Amino acid sequence: MSPDPHFMVEYLVNSCGFSSSEAAKFSKSLAHLRSTEKPDDVLNFMRSQGFDGAGIRKVISADPRYLCYNVEKNLAPKFQFLRDLGLSESDIVDAILKNNGILHYNVHRYLVPKLEMWESLLGSRELVLKHLKKTRWFFSSSVEKTLHPNLKFLRDECGIPEERLSLVLRSHPKLISQKPESLRALVARADELGMPRQSRMFVRTLVALHNVSQERFEAKVELMRSFGWSESEFSSAVRKAPTFLGISLDMFRRKVEFFINVVGYTPSFIASQPSILLFSLQKRIPNSWRSLFSHTKKMFLSCLIF
């Protein structure tokens, strides 16, 4: 006799705190269950490991099939692996919330090789653990299909020296975690901006472009055109200070308007000194800035607190 088709919907509502609509959606992956024995075991285990209700819902939302896992065979070894790395209970919770795919993978066939791979790239286990706790999907990329091809492309085809690449990856490992075709498209965008591949700024430009969508990028281009920048001036500004691309469009507009309307800079001057767009209008420009307006642009720049 088949169980009540609504029993897992009710279970997800009553035991996990999902809404009825969420529970109906997630229960579709659990239609084969004939009892709540395994889900009960999984929930009890996760609570014992420090997960609160919100954390449990986030993990189950990512893949409801986690509720079908055998705790001793499928879950406990992953938690033990993370403990053996020196992570605290709260660290483990953070790592799994950012990288719930850890719960999918075999410890010895997948997690250990991935750990060793990242450790060799970043230079220390401490950095690996830092990103594991803070970087979404850090352990999800395939070594064979993604990491190795991307590294080979950046080293061999782009000519980026090992030490320069390693330095950037310590802060931005997601650069090589993306799909190879996405990385190639990113490099093509940097090439279009005229950024020389041998430049030290090339990898930083790739990181900046990776962190901004094409839509946001085009919006900044259009905004600067409205202020009088040419396409070549925009490209030049990106080559000099690519991280300004990460500024929100609203803040970007406010800063440009401040330097044009209040300070009196021309759009061309801002394009030639794009690093000023990285300054905080509240914290990095002294309250006495009004007294500096009568001085030269060089004097004003030298008095900004960077």
In single-letter form, the type of residue at position 95 comes to A
- 164 CB-near residues (< 8 Å, 6+ apart): 200, 203
Residue 283's pLDDT band (cuts 50, 70, 90): low
Q: Specify the pLDDT at position 279.
A: 85
How confident is the model over 246-256, as pLDDT tens digits?
A: 999 999 999 99
- 224 CB-near residues (< 8 Å, 6+ apart): 233, 234, 237, 256, 267, 271
Q: For the chain, give the percent of residues with pLDDT over 90.
A: 72
Residue 137's pLDDT band (cuts 50, 70, 90): confident
Residue 288's pLDDT band (cuts 50, 70, 90): very low
Whole-number Å distance between alpha carbons of 213 and 246? 10
Summary mean pLDDT of the chain: 89
pLDDT at 303 > cutoff 80? no
Q: Specify the pLDDT at position 301.
A: 53
225: number of Cβ within 10 Å? 14
Q: Specify the pLDDT at position 305.
A: 42
